[in-house]
Amino acid sequence: MEDREIKGVIEALLFISGEPLSPDRIKNVLEEIDRGKIKSLLWELQQEYDMRLSGLRIVEVAGGFQIVTPPEVSQWIKKLKKIKQSARLTKPSLETLAIIAYKQPLVKAEIEDIRGVDSAGVIKGLLDKRFVKIIGRKDVPGRPILYATTKEFLQYFGLKDISDLPTLKEFNELAEEEGAGSLS
Amino acid sequence: MEDREIKGVIEALLFISGEPLSPDRIKNVLEEIDRGKIKSLLWELQQEYDMRLSGLRIVEVAGGFQIVTPPEVSQWIKKLKKIKQSARLTKPSLETLAIIAYKQPLVKAEIEDIRGVDSAGVIKGLLDKRFVKIIGRKDVPGRPILYATTKEFLQYFGLKDISDLPTLKEFNELAEEEGAGSLS
Amino acid sequence: MTYQIKLEVFEGPLDLLLHLIKKNEVNIYDIPISLIAQQYLDYIELMKDLNLEIAGEFLLMAATLIHIKSKMLLPQEETVSEEEEGEDPRAELVRRLLEYQRFKDAAEELGQREEIWRDVFYHPHDITTEGEEEVMIEVGLFDLIDALREMIEKIPEKMSLEIIPEELTLRGRMTAVMERLDIAGPEGLTLWALLDKDTTRRAIVITFLALLELARVRFIKLLQVEGRGTVRVFRNEN
């Protein structure tokens, strides 16, 4: 392989690894190339990154090399992450949302009954994200708050209304018929 | 900010993002820069990557831009990551996916009409793989579920957007290929 | 005439018909229906001989072919009165075959794209310096139903809300998880492998909480391989 080509492979490995890669680790992949060569190509690559004034750097950390973003851009990265985070749901939120969507209106105790864990925090998060709203109180002792899903919830999942949600039955039908219908 | 600087920020954002970033998404971060500018800098960046023959490419896929490694280096990446090549999609899955991609949104019965076989299992598999999603119900008796393809579908097949699919060959083109006469 | 039928697996009757048309090199717009119907029926016979399960669609198509064949044998005048301007009895079948063929071609093109693009690698996750986002997942409607289904299936017994004696159990579970990850080495363990010893919902919940806590303090990493694969748990190197 030519130097340029080896350097390309090293760059790709650094990119995909996400964590510092030691020359030894790279050597394990590029067996035919000697360690000294790998190290000098890593330094060349590092210099090239510096020289082209890009938004990326190659740093030597923890015994390895890693592609990182320089401090100057960190404010923008934080901003991107914030935007992304607001569009995401964690598994507990998802579970809770599923329960509310299918069983609404319902109270916190009913959610916790199914999930088996305290769900106050998750419900609060869903209220903040506007996927869930309070629609009143249940007429039982203590008058607990009743929750339901919102318009924003429908929008996020691309549904016109709540009856657009597939039923568990429809869903099971898809699963059961798996493998059926073809010759086997 | 200078162009070079903006380009650096964009590059850093592409680097840390695990999914394609659309110019709009970048615009949400770099609010002061106009969308056209962002797009042209993305293209410049893309060209720079191509020209310096690096181990990385910027591709336009699934409605956004993303840094990826080119197929030439895939063998090394698999070696580093100890990845066994993932199984290819089966013929029934590809067929069903093609039908959904070109005719979306559509219901199960329409898919089965074309394929001539029960397709529930295949659809379930595609839902599991996130290549297909449920987007609502059709306004006909029985309100059957409507399916469409996802961003993951575009990304997996390296498509910019759904219009990036090759046009379906028409009947007469097929006929020419088969060397047949006309339907009488 | 003699011919051989290789026992291939056909997705459905249309698939089999297209195969027979190609194999016999006949014109799709002028299918010699007797020949094709005969070969089709032979194939089904062969499947029966081999005790293969024959899907209903294959039998339905057999009936359709026989029906078309009989129609074509009728004198022209009689069909004219029934059908508009004596439409070819094969027309509907031809239309379906062509439509199906179009998508088979499209599927093949997708297959070619797949061949190239599955060798293109990108980060399935954000490269992140602050670990917490790794537990975040982007979700769709399907995930919502899936989440509910999983819960219902895994934990059938109705449980009342109980307070978990946290500190002790949780801490014990955290230690146990770290021990198992030590044994597993750099490959880590799947989430399910870690949970499979838990038979009660409470045990599952505690293990979950232990994992979340360990991820929060960054003793472990939770990663979902390639978009939607299984969740794997790794010991954090540093």
pLDDT tens sequence across A60-99: 887 899 998 988 898 998 888 887 766 678 888 888 998 9
d(CA A62, nearest CA chain B) in Å: 18
The reply to whether residue B117 touches residue A53, judged by beta carbons under 8 angstroms, is: no
Share of chain C above pLDDT 70, in %: 62
The torsion region of residue B142 among left (phi > 0), alpha (psi -120 to 50) and beta comes to left
Q: CB contact, 8 Å: C46 with chain A?
A: no
The pLDDT value given to residue B6:
93
Q: Report how far Cα C114 is from the mean position of its chain's Cα atoms.
A: 16
Sequence letter at residue C233 = V
Name chain C contacts of B17, Cβ cutoff 8 Å: 123, 126
**Closest Cβ opposite residue A174 in set B11, B48, B123:** B123
| Positions of E strands within chain C | 189-190, 220-224, 231-235
Task: Give the closest residue to A80 by CA, choosing from C136, C211, B28.
Answer: B28
Q: Which DSSP letter does residue C29 get?
A: G
The pLDDT value given to residue C129:
44
* CA separation for the pair C214, A53 (Å, rounded): 38
Q: What is the pLDDT of residues B79-92, one digit of tens each?
A: 998 877 778 899 99
Q: What is the pLDDT of residues A13-30, one digit of tens each?
A: 999 987 889 999 999 999
Positive or negative torsion for Cα C37, C39, C41, C44: negative
Buried b (16+ CB within 10 A) or exposed e, B159-168: bbeeeebeeb
Q: CB contact, 8 Å: C195 with chain A?
A: no
Task: Please indicate whether residue C13 or residue C152 has the higher confidence score (pLDDT).
Answer: C13
pLDDT range class, residue C226, cuts 50, 70, 90: very low
Q: How many CB pairs under 8 A join A and B?
A: 133
The reply to whether residue C28 touches residue B114, judged by beta carbons under 8 angstroms, is: no
The pLDDT value given to residue B53:
81
Positive or negative torsion for Cα B126, B156, B101, B105: positive
Task: Please indicate whether residue B62 or residue C219 has the higher confidence score (pLDDT).
Answer: B62
Positive or negative torsion for Cα B122, B124, B130, B133: positive
Inform me whether the pLDDT recorded for B173 exceeds 60.
no
Enclosing H/E stretch for A148: strand A145-149
Name chain A contacts of C12, Cβ cutoff 8 Å: 181-182
Q: Which DSSP letter does residue A144 get?
A: P
Name chain C contacts of A16, Cβ cutoff 8 Å: 121, 123
Kindly report each contact of residues C22-30 with a partner whose C-beta sits within 8 Å and lies 24 or more positions away, as own/partner.
C27/B178, C27/B180, C27/B181, C28/B175, C28/B178, C28/B180, C28/C94, C28/C97, C28/C98, C29/B175, C29/B180, C29/B181, C29/B182, C29/B183, C29/B184, C29/C94, C30/B180, C30/B181, C30/B184
Q: Which of residues 49-78 of C touch A (CB under 8 A)?
A: 52-55, 57
Pick the residue of C117, C126, C135, C146 with the most B CBs within 10 A to test the interface with B by mutation: C117
Map chain B to HEC letters: CCHHHHHHHHHHHHHHCCCCECHHHHHHHCCCCCHHHHHHHHHHHHHHHHHCCCCCEEEEECCEEEEEECHHHHHHHHHHHCCCCCCCCCHHHHHHHHHHHHHCCEEHHHHHHHHCCCCHHHHHHHHHCCCEEEEEECCCCCCCEEEEECHHHHHHCCCCCHHHCCCCCCHHHHHHHHCCCCCC
Inform me whether the pLDDT recorded for C152 exceeds 60.
no
Q: Report how far Cα B52 is from the mean position of its chain's Cα atoms.
A: 26
Inform me whether the pLDDT recorded for C192 exceeds 90.
no
Enclosing H/E stretch for A134: strand A132-137
Q: CB contact, 8 Å: B156 with chain C?
A: yes
* CA separation for the pair A145, C207 (Å, rounded): 30
Name chain B contacts of A19, Cβ cutoff 8 Å: none
Task: Please indicate whether residue C35 or residue C164 has the higher confidence score (pLDDT).
Answer: C35
The reply to whether residue B130 touches residue C27, judged by beta carbons under 8 angstroms, is: no
Q: A109: buried, middle or exposed (CB in 10 Å: 19+, 13-18, 0-12)? A: middle
Question: Among A52-66, B65-79, B159-173, which is the least confidently predicted range?
Answer: B159-173
Q: CB contact, 8 Å: B127 with chain C?
A: yes
Q: Report how far Cα B136 is from the mean position of its chain's Cα atoms.
A: 21
Domain extents in chain B: 3-72, 91-177
Summarize the confidence of residues C60-89 as an average pLDDT.
Answer: 76
* CA separation for the pair C169, B68 (Å, rounded): 44
The reply to whether residue B178 touches residue C28, judged by beta carbons under 8 angstroms, is: yes
Inform me whether the pLDDT recorded for A130 exceeds 90.
no
The pTM of this model reads 0.71
CA-based nearest residue in chain A for residue B80: A29
Cβ neighbours, 10 Å, residue B184: 7
Contacts with B146 (C-beta within 8 Å, 6 or more apart), sequence order? B105, B106, B107, B134, B135, B136, B137, B138
* CA separation for the pair B146, C113 (Å, rounded): 26
Summarize the confidence of residues C163-179 as an average pLDDT.
Answer: 68
Identical fold, B3-72 and B91-177: yes
Q: CB contact, 8 Å: B93 with chain A?
A: no
Question: Among A157-161, B8-12, B147-151, C104-108, which is the least confidently predicted range?
Answer: A157-161
Q: Which of residues 54-113 of B touch C (CB under 8 A)?
A: 59, 66-71, 74, 77, 85-86, 88-89, 91-92, 94-95, 97-99, 101-102
Contact present, C194 and C215 (Cβ < 8 Å) = no
- Classified by CATH at the fold level, domain A91-177 comes out as Arc Repressor Mutant, subunit A (1.10.10)
Give the CA distances from residue A160 to residues A102, A151, C35, C109, in Å, rounded to whole numbers and listed in that order.
Answer: 15, 9, 51, 34
The reply to whether residue B94 touches residue C107, judged by beta carbons under 8 angstroms, is: yes
* CA separation for the pair C5, B178 (Å, rounded): 23
Inform me whether the pLDDT recorded for C100 exceeds 90.
yes
Q: CB contact, 8 Å: C132 with chain B?
A: no
The pLDDT value given to residue C130:
41
Question: Among B49-53, B108-112, C131-135, C200-204, which is the least confidently predicted range?
Answer: C131-135
Q: Which of residues 73-102 of C touch B (CB under 8 A)?
A: 88, 91, 94, 96, 98-102
Q: CB contact, 8 Å: C147 with chain A?
A: yes
Share of chain C above pLDDT 90, in %: 28
d(CA C64, nearest CA chain A) in Å: 18
Residue C123, SS3 per DSSP: coil
- Classified by CATH at the fold level, domain B3-72 comes out as Arc Repressor Mutant, subunit A (1.10.10)
Name chain B contacts of A11, Cβ cutoff 8 Å: 54-56
* CA separation for the pair A100, A110 (Å, rounded): 9
* CA separation for the pair A15, B69 (Å, rounded): 8
The pLDDT value given to residue C124:
60
The pLDDT value given to residue C86:
67
Q: CB contact, 8 Å: A56 with chain B?
A: yes
Give the CA distances from residue B66 to residues B56, B84, B131, C200, in Å, rounded to whole numbers and listed in that order.
Answer: 10, 23, 19, 43
Report chain A's mean pLDDT, rounded to a whole number. Answer: 86
Name chain A contacts of C140, Cβ cutoff 8 Å: 157
pLDDT range class, residue A164, cuts 50, 70, 90: confident
Q: CB contact, 8 Å: B25 with chain C?
A: no
